[in-house]
């Protein structure tokens, strides 16, 4: 069965370029095409979507160039300055880049005022004619702000990263998260939700696979098999797991009882549809 990692990152590590990466962490290394191919092969991943980690056009260009030389990378979710007046022109230019499949801004770090900034909304609206989806990166407590964005741009397809980054504590599922996800699920323009990036949201010293699987199950129950995408958030996930294959192995094992068509949708079909891979 095809397995698409719909969310991972790549970078040539430099402390100045990636100040959010602790200097002594497992992330303070270079992760590019060779590293990705080796990691993906270990887990049977057959295609990927590389997602921006720096908010600069240079990284978007570098990721698209890498996708052109690395067949494993099926698409790129890049960054463009959505609040800049030049965004219509930039979108026209970048629409000619076949590797670019979507855009993202790191909203999780922004205040509420940014979500409501007229310039940001202008940029989101400018994406619609180009058919690019927007990756929505928010924390659990920002779900109401995410709903505002979805409602303000009903023609813009959005994909929710990391199941809205819930506060995960072993043995329980956040009621705030569950209620927010149910509200998000009523928005038709939220076309996909990634079961990714969850291990780094666990507040306990040890990971509890059963709790993580409960979040997977609730996400599928809320959104259905046709809106859930698989992703690893590699290499960020290495902050909590030993190797890339940990998450693919866990998710495939947990969902093994699903029908072949349901598994195919989650593991490849939904990513292909959402990002037009």
Average pLDDT, the chain: 97
pLDDT of residue 85: 96
pLDDT at 120 over 90: yes
Predicted confidence band of residue 23 (pLDDT cuts 50, 70, 90): confident
Predicted confidence band of residue 122 (pLDDT cuts 50, 70, 90): very high
What mean pLDDT is predicted for residues 108-119? 98
* pLDDT over 90 percentage in the chain: 98
pLDDT of residue 108: 97
Q: What is the DSSP string of the chain?
A: ---EEEEE--B---TTT-TTS-TTSTTSS-B-HHHHHHHHHHHT--EEEEE--SSSHHHHHHHHHHHHH-TTEEEEEE---TTSTTHHHHHHHHTT-TTEEEEEE-GGGS-HHHHT-HHHHHHHHHHGGGT--EEE---GGGHHHHHHHHHH-TTS-EEEGGGG---B-TT---HHHHHHHHHHTT-TTEEEEEE-S-GGGB-SSS--HHHHHHHHHHHHHHH-TTSEEE---BTGGGGTSSSTTHHHHHHHHHTTTS-HHHHHIIIIIHHHHHHT-
pLDDT of residue 1: 87
Q: Which of 15-24, 55-64, 89-98, 230-239 has the lowest mean pLDDT?
A: 15-24
pLDDT at 249 over 90: yes
Q: Give the homologous superfamily in CATH for domain 4-275.
A: Metal-dependent hydrolases (3.20.20.140)
pLDDT of residue 4: 98
pLDDT at 22 over 90: no
Question: pLDDT for 134-163, tens place per residue?
Answer: 999 999 999 999 999 999 999 999 999 999
What mean pLDDT is predicted for residues 224-243? 98
| Sequence spans of domains, the chain | 4-275
What mean pLDDT is predicted for residues 118-141? 98
């Amino acid at each position: 069965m095809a397995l698409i990692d719909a969310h991972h990152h790549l970078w040539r590590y430099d402390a100045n370029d990636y100040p959010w990466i602790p200097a002594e962490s497992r992330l303070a290394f270079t992760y590019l095409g060779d590293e990705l191919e080796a990691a993906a092969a270990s887990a049977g991943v057959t295609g990927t979507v590389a997602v921006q980690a720096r908010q600069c056009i240079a990284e978007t260009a570098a990721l698209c160039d890498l996708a052109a030389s690395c067949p494993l990378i099926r698409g790129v979710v890049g960054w463009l300055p959505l609040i800049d007046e030049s965004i219509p022109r930039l979108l026209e230019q970048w629409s000619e880049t076949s590797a670019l499949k979507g855009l993202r801004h790191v909203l999780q770090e922004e205040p509420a005022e940014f979500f409501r900034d007229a310039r940001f909304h202008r940029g989101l609206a400018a994406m619609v004619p180009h058919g690019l989806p927007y990756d929505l990166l928010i924390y659990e407590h920002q779900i109401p702000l995410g709903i505002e964005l979805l409602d303000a741009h009903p023609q813009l397809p959005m994909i929710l990263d990391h199941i809205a980054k819930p506060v995960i504590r072993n043995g329980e599922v956040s009621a705030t998260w569950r209620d927010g996800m149910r509200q998000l699920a009523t928005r038709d323009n939220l076309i996909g939700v990634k079961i990714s990036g969850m291990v780094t949201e666990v507040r306990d010293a040890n990971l509890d696979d059963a709790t993580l699987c409960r979040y997977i199950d609730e996400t599928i129950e809320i959104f259905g098999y046709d809106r859930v995408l698989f992703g690893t958030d590699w290499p960020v996930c290495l902050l909590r797991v030993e190797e890339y294959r940990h998450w693919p192995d866990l998710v495939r094992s947990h969902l093994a009882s699903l029908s072949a068509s349901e598994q195919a949708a989650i593991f490849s079909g939904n990513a292909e549809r959402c990002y037009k891979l």
